[in-house]
Amino acid sequence: MWFKNVRVYTLSAPLTTDLAVWEQALSEFKFTPLSAQEAVKVGFSFPLHTSIQHYSHACQEIIFFALKRQEKILPAAVINEEMQPKIEAMEQEKGRSLSRKEKQSLKEELQLALLPRAFSRSSLTQGYYDPSNQWLVINSSSASKAEDVLALLRKALGSLPALPWLDNHKLTQQLQFWLQNKELPKGFEQGADVELKAPDEGGAKVKFSNHLLTTEDVQTHLEDKLVTSISLQQPDGLSLQITDDGGIKKLKFHDLLTAENDELGWDDLVARLDADLILMTSALNQALLNIRQQIGSENTD
């Protein structure tokens, strides 16, 4: 349940915190398995554990939810192998090459025919609503996957006034300062990874991993490039990588933090999961708050 990558969205109007309303709303869009002829299916699933069959879960007023996605896997190589003899046969019959439109139509027919034989793959994207900070935190590095979660939430709840949690222009400016080890968010230190990209059409890129970022060979790139991603860390809390579009990647919680509830064991699954959720959301929310506050502050030399 410890999140690994997050997308954050602020809300311009509060959502209900009535868990019964959430449960009813999400259950109306619950996940059901793919049928033989379906390629993709999404729906809400159980956020904590398959044995805890509730579509929403409240822990210290924070509401957790999860979107399950199931899709059929049809490798391009398999489709092409099936298509080639059919294309050859049709071209011989017609006495000409098939048009692009005809090939696309044939491909779609083949995909439909192959679906019942295809393997399926499932994924679970968890998230939570924090009413005290008025934001949604989605456990995904992908903006499109996070948007899928928001889209279904919007259908279920009827309204979801969600916006990106950071001003991208201010964030871009601040990333330059963080690479210079200036104006870091409260409680954070500079990490050891950074990626930069030139703003011109060619877009030359450079990446440093496991590197001291204050050295001249790194800092000179600020003369003609913009920081697109940089890692930050807390001594005994968490470490993360923040990107220029506001995404949080490579989120890791310190071993001292994740082991704090080990003495509780797993006899009471809900109690243990709740204890871990409290630890995770407390550390993550504070980190996000510190970052947002710093982005909103004035840059200084």
pLDDT in tens, 99-133: 889 888 888 888 888 888 788 889 999 999 999 99
First to last CA, the chain: 40
pLDDT of the residue at 213: 95
Mean pLDDT value of segment 187-201 = 94
Domain's final residue, options 147, 164, 181: 164
pLDDT of the residue at 246: 94
Per-residue pLDDT for 252 more than 90? yes
Report the distance separating Cα 238 and Cα 142, nearest Å: 21
pLDDT of the residue at 53: 92
Tokens read off for 231: 């890692």
Same domain for 186 and 137:
no
Domain count for the chain: 3
Percent of the chain whose predicted confidence (pLDDT) is above 90: 71
Instruction: Give the model's confidence band at 83: pLDDT under 50 very low, under 70 low, under 90 confident, else very high.
Output: confident
Per-residue pLDDT for 299 more than 50? no
Same domain for 174 and 230:
yes
Per-residue pLDDT for 50 more than 70? yes
Domain assignment of residue 148, yes or no: yes
> Residue 62, exposed/middle/buried by CB under 10 A (0-12, 13-18, 19+)?
buried
Domain of 180 in residue numbering reads as: 168-296
List Cβ neighbours of 218 (8 Å cut-off, separation of 6 or more). 179, 194, 208, 211, 212
Same domain for 228 and 122:
no
Same domain for 231 and 133:
no
Per-residue pLDDT for 88 more than 90? no
Report the distance separating Cα 198 and Cα 204, nearest Å: 5
pLDDT of the residue at 65: 97
pLDDT digits (tens, 9 = 90+) for 142-186: 999 999 999 999 999 998 999 999 998 999 999 999 999 999 999
